[in-house]
Amino acid sequence: MQVTMYIKNLLPGFWIPVILYTVGLLSPQLYGAGEKTLVIGGGASWNMVENRRGITEIASIRPYPVLILSSALRSDTDPSLDMDLSFDAGAPELFTDRMGHYQVKTGEGLSSADRRFARIGMGAALFSGNRLQKAPTEAPLVISPRQGALLAPGQVLRDFTIQFWLFPVNLENGEQLLSWIASKQQGQGASSLQRIQCTAAKNRLHWTFLDFFYLNAPADRISITLEGSKPLIPKTWSHHLIRFDADTGLLEYLVDGYLEALTYVTAGGKEGGQVYYPRIGQEGRLSLGERFMGMLDELKLYSRFITDPVLHKYPIQGGRMETRPIDLGETNTTVLMVEVAGGRTANFGGLVQNEYTESGEFRFSDDSALQFFIRTAESPYDWTPSAPGEASPGAGWKLLIPGTPLSGIRGRFVQLAAVFYPSGDGETSPYLDTIRIHYQPNEPPPPPSRLTAIAGDGVVDLSWRPSNDADLAGYLVYYGTSQGDYFGEGSRLGPSPINVGNRTAVRIEGLKNGTLYYFAVAAYDHLETAHIGGFSREIAARPLRILE
């Protein structure tokens, strides 16, 4: 039989709203349920993780999604970024310029490689060696500038930088990676083709700028060629960057951050001469992947001279995740231990190397690492929010070593944080597979046993054996005139329930003779908002007048 009671102001300093009890299920063996476990991640999802800085979720490392450092190099705060093609969309028809300055058109010979093969982020453009290049529109990928773009018709540029990652299969002679073609007016109705071409020869890239740099007069133009000095290794990612400084006329080509070739686009071909500036022609189109077999990733165009290209896969500063405050259900709950499963992962051109471990300090031989923190509170508003971008948590956080028993970590709400550090070269990331929080709820004291009642003249004497709980503070005596309904009134000690303190016997006076009363006793603990346990067994007694 279910009994619902609304109890107000039973004990000083706390309210007890609605308590549900089932009279037939009050056997002592149901109390002290013991340790409980809460699982985050793994098959339970990462929904409890609400703050992620530099962290992403992927599904290709373990059977269930894991948290890992994000390799997507975002440049949202760089005002000079004009074109950004990440190729992370998963299908060629979804490839777009994130900045919105360029229209992207895809054709035959182009597909999408997933994150296992991509250099950065979740995907890369995969070219199959299409040789049908009768016109730029027949290239696997064609990019057209919109109004306001850096390569829009008539623009006179100053500094610029083009950079991308390249993964050639063979890099045969004549493979064409990048081609810019526009029409340039030369005066008196004459015109010429303006070109930028990046082609392969002898396992090197050759850059040609034809009618791209001009002085003031249309006829004052110059053609430039730059050639890489070291051969590229097939089936290996390499970073390519070409940049121009309008103040000096310096044009440089770098591979993996190392200078391969340079020239001065000046009247004398030397530093200090009059600088030729890029002037964009009409109806320009940028074609990618003509007669090229391999992958291209993270194509970006900037309106500045990039001096510090980012070459590592993962952010050197690392990343951080933080769970929301997790409600463990009871105040003063003890967190016993936090177990963690995870590891590290590296991806070298599709060759994935994973390492898996459980608990411990999560420090790996290449200096990649995971560091964990924990904090608890009785309210989700008791702690100070973490500062934006904070690497190592403060504000009450305690360092946590997974798999190690914890001491003194108590509270109804728990919050976890993990800081992810990549390897020293930025090529390896730790990952987080599963978190298990083992905790002991602060259960209310079990009810007393062997409740007895002796009726007298307007009184009932109750006694019981004490509740076996170290946190016991006292007892509440419930009474009423119907089985399971303890809404009794009239006792000199007050209405039901009666707080009798830490006693194991009490006389209930002021009862009506001839009325059958039902009694039960519950124990409570020392918490400010006390936990009240379940009922003892119910007992009945009828006060009667004593005849002399």
pLDDT one-digit tens code per residue, 316-333: 899 999 999 999 988 889
Torsion of the alpha carbons at 150, 154, 160 and 166, rounded to the nearest 10: 70
Residue 453 CB contacts under 8 Å (≥ 6 apart), including other chains: 460, 461, 462, 519, 539, 540, 541
Class assignment of domain 36-68+315-440?
mainly beta
pLDDT classification of 22: cutoffs 50, 70, 90: very low
Residue 13 pLDDT greater than 60, yes or no: no
SS3 category, 328 = coil
- Structure-token match 């070291």, residue found: 230
pLDDT classification of 380: cutoffs 50, 70, 90: confident
With beta carbons less than 8 A apart as the criterion, state whether 264 and 248 touch: yes
SS3 category, 43 = helix
For the chain, how big is the Rg over CA atoms in Å? Answer: 37
All CATH 2.60.40.10 domain ranges in the chain, comma separated: 2-32+443-541
SS3 category, 24 = helix
With beta carbons less than 8 A apart as the criterion, state whether 173 and 161 touch: no
Tokens standing for residue 270: 């030397």
pLDDT classification of 201: cutoffs 50, 70, 90: very high
Rounded to an integer, what distance in angstroms lies between the CA atom of residue 539 and that of residue 208? 99
pLDDT classification of 220: cutoffs 50, 70, 90: confident
Summarised one tens digit per residue, pLDDT across range 417-461 is: 999 999 999 999 999 999 999 999 888 889 999 999 999 999 999
Out of 128-137, 271-280, 507-516, least confident range: 128-137
Residue 439 CB contacts under 8 Å (≥ 6 apart), including other chains: 35, 36, 37, 38, 328, 333, 334, 335, 336, 414
What's the pLDDT score for residue 102? 97
All CATH 2.60.120.200 domain ranges in the chain, comma separated: 81-302
Residue 218 pLDDT greater than 60, yes or no: no
Rounded to an integer, what distance in angstroms lies between the CA atom of residue 91 and that of residue 87? 8
Q: How far is CA 75 from CA 149, 245, 537, in A?
A: 17, 21, 68
Task: Return the CATH architecture of domain 81-302.
Answer: Sandwich (2.60)
Rounded to an integer, what distance in angstroms lies between the CA atom of residue 447 and that of residue 449? 7
Out of 178-182, 289-293, 393-397, least confident range: 393-397
pTM of the entire predicted model? 0.71
Dihedral sign, Cα of residue 513, residue 519, residue 524, residue 529: negative
Tokens standing for residue 531: 């936990």
Q: Which of 286, 262, 242 is nearest to 150 (CA)?
A: 286
Rounded to an integer, what distance in angstroms lies between the CA atom of residue 98 and that of residue 82? 9
Tokens standing for residue 347: 């991806």
Residue 11 pLDDT greater than 90, yes or no: no
Q: Which of 225, 224, 259, 223 is nearest to 240 (CA)?
A: 259
Rounded to an integer, what distance in angstroms lies between the CA atom of residue 544 and that of residue 460? 10
With beta carbons less than 8 A apart as the criterion, state whether 321 and 433 touch: no
Identity (one letter) of the amino acid at 113?
A
Q: Which fold has domain 2-32+443-541?
A: Immunoglobulin-like (2.60.40)
- Write the Ramachandran bin of 115: left for phi over 0, alpha for psi from -120 to 50, otherwise beta: alpha
The arithmetic mean of pLDDT across residues 204-214, rounded, is 94
What's the pLDDT score for residue 17? 30
- Mean pLDDT, the chain, integer: 86
Summarised one tens digit per residue, pLDDT across range 141-196 is: 999 999 999 999 999 999 999 999 999 998 989 899 999 999 977 666 667 889 99
From first CA to last CA, the distance across the chain in angstroms is 41
What's the pLDDT score for residue 348? 64
Which burial class, exposed, middle or buried, applies to 547 when counting CB atoms under 10 A from its CB (0-12, 13-18, 19+)? exposed
What's the pLDDT score for residue 526? 85
With beta carbons less than 8 A apart as the criterion, state whether 423 and 366 touch: yes
What's the pLDDT score for residue 95? 96
Summarised one tens digit per residue, pLDDT across range 77-134 is: 789 999 999 999 989 999 999 999 999 999 999 999 988 889 998 899 999 986 544 4
pLDDT classification of 300: cutoffs 50, 70, 90: very high
With beta carbons less than 8 A apart as the criterion, state whether 327 and 441 touch: no
Residue 397 CB contacts under 8 Å (≥ 6 apart), including other chains: 373, 374, 375, 417
